[in-house]
């Protein structure tokens, strides 16, 4: 429920009003910035709201029920404020935006219209369009478990229970060269067998991406040396001499859990679950129907 201060209510009842919209944005890394559609900077609730960004919003509506309400905001990508590389790096994914209605003559008179999170972001021609989703979008997220043959835990988490700090399951390396945006040649991992870090995690310890984690798609070795393919390398560029730590990967199959990690008792999947091929099959002569597991 929105709360309007009495002074703002009185102002809105006049024939002529001096109100504008302000957007307070809190990124995933905690950075707070402010934008307004007014023609000069305003300080509201301790935050400075800048007008130079060209921030504007589409029509907004609120509906009864549990449907997710959306509104688009548009603005300019500038090196001083909202940078393209920061958007690409995911710093604005899931960021919180509060929309304020402000009396620009008396900025202490304001009301919070809505709170939303950033969903899809589209970038083109040095501009961006961000879709703001109301808080009810959280109700659309899965809150239970899926029944599948593969494990639904993350290797090393509390449900998995495996300690990746054990000897042989983690390492450190340095980028030797960058072949493509998401393909790097590294040193320091020669002692590990091929594929050991596939589906694992890499955390940058130095360089422009320090503190950021990446998912590893593939760990292989060829004539160039040890090659890592990252799931996403958007944002700040990877450079030679950037250092990282790395954790062993798991493809979430029961066989890998048992053979690679000796952690079968904590496997969080259903490895003997029949697939669609078994569900739609029919009895044939010579088939095995002894009640044993279909999947070994």
pLDDT of 11-46, one tens digit each? Answer: 999 999 999 988 888 887 788 888 888 888 999 999
pTM, two decimal places: 0.62
Long-range contacts of 163-170 (CB under 8 A, 24+ apart): 164/247, 164/248, 168/248, 169/247, 169/248, 169/261, 170/245, 170/246, 170/247, 170/248
For β-strands 32-36 and 47-50, DSSP reports them as parallel
The 10 Å Cβ neighbour count of residue 25 is: 21
Q: What is the reported pLDDT for 197?
A: 95
Q: Tell whether the model's pLDDT for residue 117 goes beyond 90.
A: no
Q: What is the reported pLDDT for 161?
A: 92
Q: What is the reported pLDDT for 86?
A: 74
Give percent above pLDDT 70 in the chain.
80
For β-strands 96-103 and 56-57, DSSP reports them as unpaired
Structure tokens at 279: 């569900």
pLDDT mean over 222-230? 92
Tell me where in the chain the CATH 2.40.10 domain(s) lie: 6-139, 170-252
Beta-bridged to residue 19, according to DSSP, are 103
Phi, psi of 100 (to 5 degrees): -115, 140
**Angstrom distance (rounded) from CA 105 to CA 88:** 37
Q: Tell whether the model's pLDDT for residue 176 goes beyond 90.
A: yes
Lowest mean pLDDT among 37-46, 72-81, 89-98, 205-214: 72-81
Burial class (CB in 10 A: 0-12, 13-18, 19+), 161: middle
Q: What is the mean pLDDT of the chain?
A: 82
pLDDT in tens, 232-284: 766 678 889 999 999 999 999 999 999 999 999 999 998 887 777 666 777 77
Long-range contacts of 12-18 (CB under 8 A, 24+ apart): 17/103, 18/103, 18/104, 18/105
**Angstrom distance (rounded) from CA 49 to CA 44:** 7
Does 170-252 carry CATH code 2.40.10?
A: yes
Beta-bridged to residue 187, according to DSSP, are 174
Tell me the CATH architecture of domain 6-139: Beta Barrel (2.40)
């Amino acid at each position: 429920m929105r709360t309007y201060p009495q002074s703002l209510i009185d102002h809105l009842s006049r024939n002529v009003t001096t109100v504008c919209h302000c957007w307070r944005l809190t990124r995933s890394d905690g950075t707070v910035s402010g934008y307004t559609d007014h023609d000069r900077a305003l300080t509201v609730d301790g935050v400075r709201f800048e007008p130079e960004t060209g921030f504007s919003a589409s029509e907004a509506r609120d509906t009864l029920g549990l449907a997710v309400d959306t509104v688009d905001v548009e603005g300019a990508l500038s090196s001083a404020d909202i940078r393209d590389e920061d958007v690409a790096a995911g710093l604005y994914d899931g960021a919180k935006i509060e929309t304020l209605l402000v009396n620009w003559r008396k900025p202490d008179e304001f009301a919070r219209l809505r709170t939303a999170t950033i969903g899809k972001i589209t970038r083109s021609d040095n501009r961006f369009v961000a879709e703001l989703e109301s808080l009810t979008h959280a109700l659309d997220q899965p809150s239970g478990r899926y029944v599948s043959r593969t494990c639904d835990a993350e290797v090393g988490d509390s449900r998995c229970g495996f300690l990746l700090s054990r000897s042989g399951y983690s390492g450190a390396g340095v980028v030797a060269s960058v072949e493509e945006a998401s393909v790097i040649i590294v040193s320091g991992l020669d002692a590990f067998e091929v594929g050991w870090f596939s589906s694992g995690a890499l955390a940058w310890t130095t360089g422009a991406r320090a503190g950021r984690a990446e998912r590893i798609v593939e760990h292989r070795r060829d004539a160039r040396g040890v090659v890592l393919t990252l799931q996403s390398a958007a944002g700040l560029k990877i450079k030679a001499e950037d250092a990282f730590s790395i954790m062993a990967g798991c493809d979430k199959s029961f066989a890998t859990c048992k053979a690679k990690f000796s952690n079968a008792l904590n496997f969080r999947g259903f490895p003997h679950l029949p697939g669609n091929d078994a569900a739609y099959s029919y009895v044939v002569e010579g088939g095995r129907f002894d009640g044993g597991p279909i999947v070994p």
